[in-house]
Amino acid sequence: MSIVSEVKRWVELVVLFALIPALVVCFIGDLATWLMPLLLLTGAGCLYLLLADPSFKRFRLWHVDAFYQHMRKTLWLFLPFASLACVLVAVYMPKLLFYLPGEHPSLWLLTLLIYPLISVIPQEVIFRTFFFHRYKRILPSKIWRWLLSTLSFASVHAVYGNWIAVAVSAAGGALFGYRYIQTRSTLVVVIEHSLWGMFLFTVGVGVFLLSNAPIPVE
């Protein structure tokens, strides 16, 4: 890759993963209803660039090498930390515990149905598959790609206007980035991301990850 190409790629990274998310956060009042369309459009654009790149191994999107081994690792991590999250919500935010399924079951079910399709898949294509492949020439270190993708993933969730969304997304981004490095499979990471997301929407924390969510007042 030439110096000019490297500079262009750096500019692209900054624009796509820093400037545009910052603008969306700043103008969220005007763009709130467009968040999902923007996410889907961006995901489709990133997927197109991946598929048009002859150096991209398309099987990364769906391959299932050692699938059950990865799922066991996912569950071994999920079960204790999900249990801990339940306890923390019950102690520190008791009004939120199972709030959506208890008070807004229709919204909860709709969220569980559409969340993996319109949110998780495009996010994983953008922040993991695309990011890790597209910028490996200018960021040969997997650790740096992991750190920057995690930072961008967390910061873009500032659109929800609360620190919990950013903190949860930082933890999730770090986990999903690590899992992608280990598996090189978008499918595996989509499953893990969906599992955690649906759990958070069920246990109560997910209200902080919804626009105009019906959060109960203490």
**Interacting residues of 130 by C-beta distance below 8 A, sequence separation 6+:** 46, 47, 49, 50
| Separation of alpha carbons 212 and 192, rounded Å | 26
Which pLDDT does position 214 carry in this prediction?
57
Which pLDDT does position 81 carry in this prediction?
96
pTM comes to: 0.93
User: Can you list the residues of the chain whose pLDDT is less than 50?
Assistant: 217-218
Which pLDDT does position 216 carry in this prediction?
59
Question: Which single residue is written with the structure tokens 């709030």?
Answer: 99
Pick the closest to residue 17 from 118, 133, 131 (CA basis): 131
Which pLDDT does position 217 carry in this prediction?
47
| Separation of alpha carbons 5 and 12, rounded Å | 10
Which pLDDT does position 127 carry in this prediction?
97
Q: Is 55 exposed, middle or buried (0-12, 13-18, 19+ CB in 10 A)?
A: exposed
Which pLDDT does position 213 carry in this prediction?
58
**Strands annotated E in the chain:** none
Angle (CA) 208-213-218 rounded to 5° is 75
| Separation of alpha carbons 121 and 133, rounded Å | 16
Cβ atoms < 10 Å from Cβ of 23:
12
Cβ atoms < 10 Å from Cβ of 163:
11
